[in-house]
Amino acid sequence: MNQDDLKALVGKKAVDWISDGMTIGLGTGSTVRYMVEALAEKIKKEHLTITGVVTSKETANLATSLGIPLKSVDEIDYIDLTIDGADEISSDFQGIKGGGAALLFEKIVAKNSKKNLWIVDQSKLTKDLGNFPLPVEVIPYGSEKIFERFEAQNFAPTFRTVEDGTKVKTDSENYIIDLHLKKIDDPFKLAKYLKQQIGVVEHGLFLDTVNTIIVGYPDGPKIFEAR
Ligand SMILES: O=C[C@H](O)[C@H](O)[C@H](O)COP(=O)(O)O
């Protein structure tokens, strides 16, 4: 089984958590894609009434193309369950997200959800966070100044760019600065520092957020309850 097979495995498994009448937060990324496709099939097969709340334009386009009814987070009281991917999950169930630049809407949706379920292949599990570059979403105005501040902190920042060197723009028209930290000793301290920087919109540390994790292994999916 390759990594993509493992993503498909957990994506399909995740829809077992969805039942009739639920409002579901739909995350972003290559693993979530499998879940959204499986959800569309389940809705048709079991004649379910489901409302989706998306976390990116990418997922909105996919869900719409598959006929899943959508509402904005502002139109609903709460989200029953959000299913999302992750870039890194530490042994104490903290996470890094935003590899697909969707961290801001993902965090808003996660914070308005009663329960958060993450679906990952086994490669995403790690002892400590930080090997995966930590994404920080910043407004374009003043972003060079924030970049310099991150350099001075030895955060090894890089602006995320596309192939031609243009800076990536998020769905909210912001930039992403990736911090190449290797190991984050105190994620809570770092999260606090980042939130205090003027011009930082959000960062990819998702702390004390996830409740349940489905991990794809070659011998099948395994479920971990975080809290
Ligand atoms: O911004 C993107 C999200 O945080 C994704 O959920 C995360 O990057 C994992 O994506 P994938 O399932 O494609 O590895």
Give the C-alpha distances (Å, rounded to integers) separating 139 from 57, 156, 218: 19, 19, 41
Question: What would the pLDDT profile of 110-162 be if each residue is shown by its tens digit?
Answer: 999 999 999 999 999 999 999 999 999 999 999 999 999 999 999 999 999 99
In angstroms, the CA 97 to CA 132 distance is: 9
Which residue lies with its CA nearest to atom 8 of ligand 1? Answer: 99
- 219 and 157 part of one domain: no
- 51 and 122 part of one domain: yes
Residue 56 annotated as binding?
no
- 115 and 138 part of one domain: no
Q: Maximum distance among all alpha carbons in the chain?
A: 56
- 16 and 46 part of one domain: yes
Reduced to 3 states (helix: H, G, I; strand: E, B; else coil), residue 179 is strand
- 28 and 117 part of one domain: yes
- 161 and 120 part of one domain: no
Which residue lies with its CA nearest to atom 7 of ligand 1? Answer: 86
- 156 and 104 part of one domain: no
Res. 227 pLDDT band, cuts 50 70 90: low
- 48 and 104 part of one domain: yes
Residue 84 annotated as binding?
yes
- 70 and 116 part of one domain: yes
- 98 and 193 part of one domain: no
ipTM above 0.95 for this complex: yes
- 181 and 92 part of one domain: no
In angstroms, the CA 180 to CA 175 distance is: 16
The whole domain housing 42 covers: 3-126+207-225
Starting from the edge strand earliest in sequence, which strands make up the sheet with 212-217, in order? 51-54, 23-26, 81-84, 116-121, 212-217, 220-225
Q: Which residue has the tokens 């930039």?
A: 175
Residue 85 annotated as binding?
yes
Question: What would the pLDDT profile of 174-217 be if each residue is shown by its tens digit?
Answer: 999 999 999 999 999 999 999 999 999 999 999 999 999 999 99
pLDDT, residue 205, reads: 98
Q: Which residue has the tokens 């309850």?
A: 225
Q: Which residue has the tokens 């001075």?
A: 152
Which residues are within 8 A (CB) of 144 and not within 5 positions of it... i.e. 6 or more apart?
none
Residue 174 belongs to a domain with what CATH number? 3.30.70.260
Which residue lies with its CA nearest to atom 12 of ligand 1? Answer: 31
Between the CA of 98 and the centroid of ligand 1 the distance, in Å, is 6
Cβ(87) to ligand 1 under 6 A? yes
In angstroms, the CA 69 to CA 91 distance is: 36
Q: Which of 3, 30, 87 to mutate to test the pocket of ligand 1 (most atoms within 8 A of CB)?
A: 87
Residue 64 annotated as binding?
no
Q: Which residue has the tokens 């079991």?
A: 46
In angstroms, the CA 158 to CA 179 distance is: 7
Question: What would the pLDDT profile of 62-93 be if each residue is shown by its tens digit?
Answer: 999 999 999 999 999 999 999 999 999 999 99
Question: What would the pLDDT profile of 208-217 be if each residue is shown by its tens digit?
Answer: 999 999 999 9
pLDDT, residue 192, reads: 98
Interval 38-52 mean pLDDT = 98
Contact status, residue 203 vs residue 194, Cβ threshold 8 Å: yes
Question: What would the pLDDT profile of 2-23 be if each residue is shown by its tens digit?
Answer: 999 999 999 999 999 999 999 9
- 39 and 144 part of one domain: no
Give the chain's domain count. Answer: 2
Residues acting as catalytic residues? 106
Residue 79 belongs to a domain with what CATH number? 3.40.50.1360
Cβ(133) to ligand 1 under 6 A? no
pLDDT, residue 196, reads: 97
Contact status, residue 104 vs residue 147, Cβ threshold 8 Å: no
Task: Work out the number of other CB atoms within 10 angstroms of the CB of residue 21.
Answer: 9
In angstroms, the CA 95 to CA 12 distance is: 22
